[in-house]
Chain A
Amino acid sequence: MIRSHVLICSGENCTSSGSEKLISAMESEIVKKGLADEVKVIKAGCFDLCSSGPNMIIYPEGAFYSNVTVADISEIVEEHLIKGRVVKRLLHHDFTQEKTVSSLNEVPFYQKQLRIALRNCGVINPEDIDEYIAFDGYRALGKVLTEMKPEEVIDVVLRSGLRGRGGAGFPTGRKWQLARGNAADQKYVCCNADEGDPGAFMDRSVLEGDPHSVLEAMAIAGYAIGATQGYIYVRAEYPIAIKRLRIAIDQARDYNLLGKDIFGTGFEFDIELRLGSGAFVCGEETALMTSIEGHRGEPHPRPPFPAVKGLFGKPTILNNVETYANIAQIILKGPEWFSSIGTEKSKGTKVFALGGKINHTGLVEIPMGTTLREIIDDIGGGIPGGKKFKAAQTGGPSGGCIPPEHLDIKIDYDNLISIGSMMGSGGLIVMDEDNCMVDIARFFLDFTVDESCGKCVPCRIGTRRLLEILDKIISGNGEMKDLDRLDELCRYIKENSLCGLGQTAPNPVLSTLHYFRDEYLAHVVDKRCPAGVCKSLITYEIDPVKCTGCTLCARNCPTNAITGTVKNPHVIDKSKCIKCGVCQQKCRFSAVIKK
């Protein structure tokens, strides 16, 4: 099996500087070392770095060697091809930096990131409390209990400028302050780990990678507001997160970092796990609390706010996982440190789950104020296959699609809202020219219709009507007045729904309608889906010039819709075609065109 490819430039300039000799020297050296079956030498076209020729690239490492002479060949073979060590002295100076990278810390994907919430993820063993402690774990709790008054803790969180990472961005310190201000015999600290946005997995990663950071922060919050009991509401779909949380809670109890008389200060705090059972609406705070109480997870009107009357009728604070993951660092490093990061009104960092049509999918934590372009191009490595960027979706079913013209916007809570999207919990899905924006809007509406709890009419019925209109457009039966209807209905649902789910559900429709109106028009007026996604609106045709009459498509067509004779162009009978796309996949001459 070939494991390495040696590309030697045989462009004009390199040939004149002796690449022919290199090729033959390399070939004979490879044969001599018995590597002929494993290494292949390829005469390549010009690498465009003629001044440093002759040039050579060895894959899979992608090591770029320049000014190579015949005398270097045996070293390259011995060191690189046999021992797998890049010959650094021959590396082209432009490539020295990145081609010798072997640590994740050195790649661009990491260099633009700043890890606060994810500081321990991928570093410590999440099932060993000692490792968390080794990285300053529970020191913040110790500091708070032994040196600070509850009011001082709240003041620090307020001054840090931390805002809720679950979506809406309410100032965390303010939430705590409100709950502290309400006297009661019992108060509760809740953690929202019911991460429901499809395509978002930030909270799961924190829980699986660093569960103690959440427990510690909840205990700090308990001290700050005067609560002794905490609940973590976590998705049942996250079995590993649940297992690690259970282990973490047990270990913290063993060390008496949960329980009675923590650090000998008389402070008492314990945490219980509650599993969600797959209802998106339970990410809404009042619905989540109703669910913990053991009922259908339906939201109820605010006020009263949870800080006044929350879980079991008592003052309650609810923060999400990522918000908690920031707390201990803020206590240890100070609010000034935290507020020095980010933009004017959005401090600190945000974790995004980068997915969709992007080269490096994954979890990234960036300072607020980073541009979308930096995330997609520098961190995410751009879009695969040389395709064109069409939109980035943030905020999941509550958010919107951001078009190319806003790629340079600095990401923070307020900027995203100003362009019709929202931060949401941090899903960031990249879409390219092959994604149809009407179809994407329909996808999210389908989700919302499914997840609407049904308690209030605007959401329950409104979203269903929206979906029906979108279906009509996608099936090719849309009329111009449907677009106005969509717009009007969206605004009505936004204004009149009971909870955040309904109030934000129209956002995917509104933002695509605003930024990608031409795509809606193409569907409605031209009865055409420009991205070639909506089946009712696409047709397959065979280009008679490219078709060689090989009959492969006709033999594979499941409905015998393709006819033609050998060596003559074939034709697709549109009345029989079911648009399965098999012909296009099978054609070796790119003669089948989707329109």
Chain B
Amino acid sequence: MKSLAELEVIRERTKKKINVSESDGNDIRVVVGMATCGIAAGARPVYDMLIEEVEKHNLHNVSITQTGCIGICQLEPVVEIYAPGKEKVTYVKMTPEKARRIVTDHIVNDTIVAEYTVGSVVE
């Protein structure tokens, strides 16, 4: 990194990629909480299943990314989905089976699976 301008280039480029909520494209960003607590609660098989399902459905607009602790240990594993022009959706207490349904219902058919969201367990 020789200059601030160089940093700015990376910043702009990556921001576009990450900030799908504000973009008008059709990219979807899926993040899986994979800090110690998430992994201990079983985030890895969920992550693997998401990747497998997204590949199976040939969804080139979907990126699956690991992230750190989202903060709600009790509800791990946690998966969050960001889509253009929408509030993010938080899915909790995930299992590989639930992950499969989220790919088909939410990502492919654009229907939030209400009973898996954080709203179903937290009042």
A31: Cβ under 8 A from any B Cβ: no
Enumerate chain A residues within 8 angstroms of B117, measured Cβ to Cβ.
101-103
User: Is there contact, CB below 8 Å, between B36 and A204?
Assistant: yes
**Which chain B residue has the least Cβ–Cβ distance from A100?**
B119
Q: From DSSP, what is the main secondary structure of chain B's interface residues?
A: mixed
Count B interface residues, CB 8 Å: 48
User: Which of A33-41, A128-136, A367-375, A576-584 touches B?
Assistant: A128-136
What is the minimal beta-carbon distance from B63 to any residue of chain A, in angstroms?
10
Enumerate chain A residues within 8 angstroms of B69, measured Cβ to Cβ.
121-122, 205, 208-209, 363
Assign chain A's interface to a size class: 35 or more
User: Is there contact, CB below 8 Å, between B71 and A118?
Assistant: yes
Q: Give A228 to B74 CA distance when docked, in angstroms.
A: 41
What is the minimal beta-carbon distance from A110 to any residue of chain B, in angstroms?
8
What is the minimal beta-carbon distance from A462 to any residue of chain B, in angstroms?
35
Q: From DSSP, what is the main secondary structure of chain A's interface residues?
A: loop
What is the minimal beta-carbon distance from A276 to any residue of chain B, in angstroms?
16
Enumerate chain B residues within 8 angstroms of A60, measured Cβ to Cβ.
115, 120-121
What is the minimal beta-carbon distance from B48 to any residue of chain A, in angstroms?
16
Q: Give A256 to B6 CA distance when docked, in angstroms.
A: 11
> Are A263 and B3 CB-contacts (below 8 A) given A122-B31, A127-B66, A208-B36?
yes
B-facing residues in A472-497 (Cβ within 8 Å)? none
The residue that B67 contacts in the complex, of A123, A136, A364, with Cβ under 8 A, is A123
> Are A62 and B123 CB-contacts (below 8 A) given A103-B88, A133-B11?
yes
User: Is there contact, CB below 8 Å, between A104 and B36?
Assistant: no
User: Is there contact, CB below 8 Å, between B118 and A103?
Assistant: yes
Chain A window 219-258, contacts with chain B (Cβ cutoff 8 Å), 1 for yes, 0 for no = 0000000000000000000101100000000000001110
A-facing residues in B9-49 (Cβ within 8 Å)? 10-11, 13-15, 17-19, 31, 33, 35-37, 39
A-B pairs, top 9 by smallest CB distance, nearest first, are A209-B68, A101-B119, A122-B70, A134-B14, A104-B90, A102-B117, A205-B69, A208-B35, A363-B71
7 contacts between A and B (CB under 8 A): A60-B121, A103-B87, A125-B67, A146-B4, A206-B68, A256-B1, A263-B2
- Tell me the A residues contacting B by CB distance below 8 Å: 3, 60-62, 83-86, 98-110, 113, 118, 120-128, 130-131, 133-139, 142-143, 146, 201, 204-206, 208-210, 238, 240-241, 255-257, 262-264, 359-364, 381
Known pairs A240-B35, A381-B123; list 9 more (Cβ under 8 Å). Answer: A84-B105, A86-B114, A100-B119, A102-B112, A108-B122, A125-B65, A139-B11, A209-B69, A210-B68
